[in-house]
Structures are given as structure tokens and as C-alpha cells.
Structure 1
């Protein structure tokens, strides 16, 4: 049941992504951006909500850090590696990369500080940690709202790029002309895609409940810990559509868009999905705080550091992709053998 439910979520996540893109193409940049922000990580959020309701708080917390690590290392690594094999060296906007790097650093600090407070204090009460986590969550949601305002309103011109990957001006003009003609000839059926989006959301909710209900028995039989399941397995299932999108556009030499998908998803998880889960846990009677496993924090810090180091110059190649994938492999192996959490919940 666990395997079947996980595999069923993959195409549903893909349809949700397609429906969101089709509706956004008609709704315009403002509402399209908001729609992508809302439904971009809907699959992960739905799975996490069901896990939270079942009391699997450790799994939910691990899935947050796992999604950040997976997007920065696995998704971006595959995109840079496969895109670099086909196009040797690719370029993207370094200004946006630096802004995203700063936002990712803030996200890493935000999940590090509550754990540091707990570690450096003498017997911090759970209620105090919960209040601290809620306060930090509200700050992160506020920052996420400001990033939307920055990218969609005040500095939208920075993001209004075609991801040309270093083409010359004549080739860019030809590509933009072809894209404009293609967009003019394509008009999305908004009613149809809204129906698809709603149907897929309901189906993902059903499959998520099956996935979570079979999680404990399945991981016990497979010999997996809650930490490995949350950090590695669940994020791969939830991020499958984004993985495919980032890699496919990178192979088309649209590295700008590929980096935007990988890093944008990371920021959504860190600044929106994670904080929302903290607030939902408080409301559902399943308190979830931001006191993470220290090894998770080490992994997030490593992922943010190497991703920022590689991406801020605005250029990528296949070797840099290998470096990101190798880092993910090392962390994945370490999480597999990590013995801290032996049970679920």
C-alpha cells in the first residue's frame, strides 16, 4: 500500500503542476505568481498535514529539511549535470541568484536558532519552545510575503527573463518571437484546468492518507528509520513534478527557469510550508516546533553553503552538477545509517 500510494502521487503531482501553469498563463503575472506560490508545493503540504494529523511530527519535520536538501542538491544537481552534458556551460541571472542565496541563508538561520536556544539552555520547557517556534514561523511567513512582493511587483523586471542560456541577441530575438507566436496560438481552458486541479488535489489527499496510514508498518518492514523516510523518501515523492520540470528545461538550455524552479521550491518550503505546518500543528492539537535533529541542521547548512557557492556566479557546468549530486549521496547514505530515531512519532 505504501509503494502503491507513493507511485500514485507522482502523476497526480505532475497534473497539478501542469494545471497550475495553464491557469497562470491566463491569470497574468500577479495572480499566476500567487497561484504558483500556493500550489507549487501542494503535494508536500498535503502529505505533511496528514502525517501531522497522525502524530508523526518527527517525520513532518524531517520532510521539511529533506525537501530543502533535495531541491538544492538533487534537483539542481541533476539539472546542472544533464544540462551541462548537452550545452557545456550554461548561464543564468546572477543578481537573482544572490538574492535567493540570502533568502536561503535566512531560512537556514531560522531553523538553526530554535535548536541552538534549546541546546544552550538548561531544561527549556516545551511550551516555551512552541511559543518561540510560532513567533519564528510568523516572521518567516512575513518574509515570504515580502519575497512575493519583490519578485511580482517592485522588482519584477529582474525576473522577466527568458532563460536564454547565453544566446546572442539575434538568436534570443528569434526564440522570443517563436515563443510569442506559440503563446498567442495557445489559449488555456481555465474551467477545465481548475477542475483538473481540484480533482488532483482531492486524489492526492486520498493517496496521502493511504501513504501515511501505511508508513509505520512499511518503514518497519523495510528497515528504514523515520529520519531517513522523512528526509529522503517523502521529499522525492512530493517533489517529483518539480524534479522533472527543472531537469527538462535545463536540457533545453533554459537554466534560468530551472534554477528558479529548484530554488523557488526550496524557499517555499522553508519560508511558507514549514511555518504553516507549525501553525497548523498548534491548531490541530499536534504541536510541532522548530527544534530539529542537529544532524538535519548540519545537512541543511551544507546544502545551502554548496548551492550558494556554485550558483552565485551565474554559470553552471556538468561538473558542478556532479558535486551537488555527490553531496546529496553522501548525506543520503549518512541519513540511512543514522540511528537516532528508530521509531515513528
Structure 2
């Protein structure tokens, strides 16, 4: 689908349908139940939700072509992270106490993007082009910041002495939140200004010299992108209710719902990343995948920390032993995968296997 031709109808119809569906369900105070009417609602919800996600990807790509790389992928990454933060905050404001929600969501996002999404992109690119190149210096910057952020937020809480259990004290949580924000802010400065060339492939630089969308189309895409993202946030809450009911009916573990919602939230980036890999622009795929992990920890943890402090709610961040092993395995594997500047299908398959292990252990811990 070219961004230079007429805007496809689905790019504005699905966001509009999503808003109308949310308004109708809210006005009627509809509650999902596993009845024939409930199943029809679930099917309609999924179709509109997926259509809205793809509409968001289309508009983000149109804007990305105009503003260039890495700003385009950064825009989509930040937009999706805003969705995630809003969803977590919404659930935290509810009556049900979910102290592990932020930890489970952040961990699921890291595993999904660093193993599932990275693995699929590298595997698809390897099938089509045998080998693909990317900037080693940029990938090393991503990994260095990601390893520090993930360790101090998901592992270190298990080994502090001020408080017992996998949680920080108020002072520790405040310090970690400030440090992660500083790290992420300096990384953005490095990515967009200081060392921009570390994160842009030759193909992306050549594309920037091509034809761009008009100012009118750019403004319309910006408005529709915001509408699409808002619609996804609103419907994701309804989707999570459907998942909760289905999970209870099939006896799925609590983490199952978190993984499904995380997959939904990451769909815009996932579609864009896989599309870039198919076009032999693995650098853009890496920017989207690893950038999403950084934004998730750098923005979600401080925001949720503030919400937990304001609402006087407990915030559990430390992973169990099984989760820590998977996280450390992901660190080591990522260092090997992104250490040479070239990839092939075997690297992709190994990442996909680790992701499969993560999903399997959600059901059989």
C-alpha cells in the first residue's frame, strides 16, 4: 500500500468504527458473557481492533516517510508505549489489586520484541535475502541501555535489603525511576541527534530523497494516527475483559491475559517491523523492536511508579527465578545475534525458540 496514492478507505473507516463501537458498548453498558451474543461481539471487536491497528501502522509509516529516520520509527515506538502506559494505568485505577501487572507487562513486552519479533524479522529476512546487514554500533547502544534498565527494574528488586520481597522501597523506586528516565532521555538524544547515523541504513537514507506526501495528507494522517491509537486504547480495555472471561473458562493462568494484551498492543510495531524486514531494511526492524523495549522500561516503570505512589498501591517488580533465567538468556543471545552486523535464518530461529519456551512456560510453569 503506497503512501503516495489516495488514502485507502480502511485507514479512516476502522478508527471511526472503533470509536463508535466503544461509544455504543459504553452507552448500553454491555457486559461480555460467553453467550451467542457475546461471541458475536467478540468477533466484531477483534475485526475492528485489528483493522484499527493496521490503520495506525499505515498513518505512522506515512508520517515516517515525511520526517525521515530514525524519527519515524521513534514516533511509532513512543505512540505504542503511550498506549501501554495508558492501559496499565487504567487497570491499576480499577478496584482489583494487581501488584504484579507492571512487572508482567514489561517482562512480556521484552520477551515478545527481543525474541518473538526479532526472531521473526531475522528469519523472514534470511529466507528472502540469505543474509541482512545492520549497524552494529547502533545495536550495541540499544543493548547496553536495555541490559542496565532491565536488570535494575526486573532483577535487582529481588536482592535489596531495605524491603523484603521483590519490591523497592519508596526511595529506591524513586531513584530507579529517575535513572531510567535519564538513561532513556540521553539515548534519545544520541539516536536522533548526536549519533543519528548509527541508526539509519543506506536504504532509509536513499528513501528520504524520494517523493513525500503533501502537507494536507500529512496533517490528516497525524490526526487519524492519534484517533487510531486512542481507539486501540479504548478497545484494548474491552478486549482484556473478553480475555479474562475466556481465560477463566479454559483455566488459563493469570499471565496468559497479560501476554495476549501485550501482543495486541505491540501489533502496530510488529507489522511495521516485519514489513521492513521483507523490504531488506533490517535496521528499521531493529529500531522498532529494541526501541520498543527501551521505551517500555524507560517510560512505563517511572509512570507506574508515580501512579502506585499516588494511589498508595504495592508495586512488585522482581521476577521469579524462572523469569530471570529467561531474561539473562535473552541478554546473552542478543549479544551474539547483534555482535557481527550480519544475520541469517539460524539466528532468527534461535530467538523464536526462546520465545516459544517463554510462551510454553506461561501455561506450564
Verify same fold: TM over 0.5.
yes
Change (3 A) 1:294 1:259: same
Specify the SS of the correspondent of 2:343. Answer: strand
CA deviation string 1:276-307 (max 9, x = no partner): 22222323444424233343232222222212
Once residues 82 and 297 of structure 1 are traced to their aligned partners in structure 2, the CA distance between those partners, rounded to angstroms, is 28
What is the Cα deviation at residue 318 of structure 1? 0.8
189 and 101 in structure 1: CA distance in 2 versus 1, 3 angstrom threshold: same
1:283 to 291, 310, 333: 310
Is the CA contact 1:51–1:57 (under 8 Å) kept in the aligned structure 2?
Answer: no
Q: Tell me how far apart the structure 1 counterparts of residues 121 and 77 of structure 2 sit (CA, whole Å).
A: 21
2-side partners of 1:28 and 1:257: how far apart? 11
Q: 2:110 and 2:216 mapped to 1: Cα distance?
A: 32
CA distance 1:7–1:289, shift in 2 (3 Å): farther
1:221 to 242, 249, 255: 249
TM-score w.r.t. the length of structure 2 is 0.78
Q: 2:327 aligns with which of 288, 292, 300?
A: 300
Superposition deviation, residue 186 in structure 1: 5.3
Aligned-residue CA RMSD in angstroms? Answer: 2.9
TM-score (norm 1): 0.82
Q: How does 1:1-345 map to 2 (within 5 A)?
A: 1=32, 4=43, 5=45, 8-26=48-66, 35-54=75-94, 55-118=97-160, 121=161, 124=164, 129-163=169-203, 176=206, 180-183=209-212, 187=215, 189-230=217-258, 232-338=259-365
Is the Cα–Cα contact under 8 Å of residues 23 and 190 in structure 1 kept in the other structure? Answer: yes
Measure, in 1, the Cα distance between the counterparts of 2:121 and 2:137. Answer: 20
SS at 2:249 equivalent? helix
**What CA distance in whole angstroms lies between the structure 2 residues aligned with 1:15 and 1:122?**
47
CA distance in 2 between counterparts of 1:114 and 1:62 reads 15
Structure 2 stretches lacking a partner, 5+ long: 1-31, 33-40
Deviation of 1:196 after TM superposition, in Å, equals 1.0
Equivalenced residues, count: 323
Kindly indicate whether the alpha-carbon contact (under 8 Å) linking 1:130 and 1:288 is maintained by their aligned counterparts in 2: no
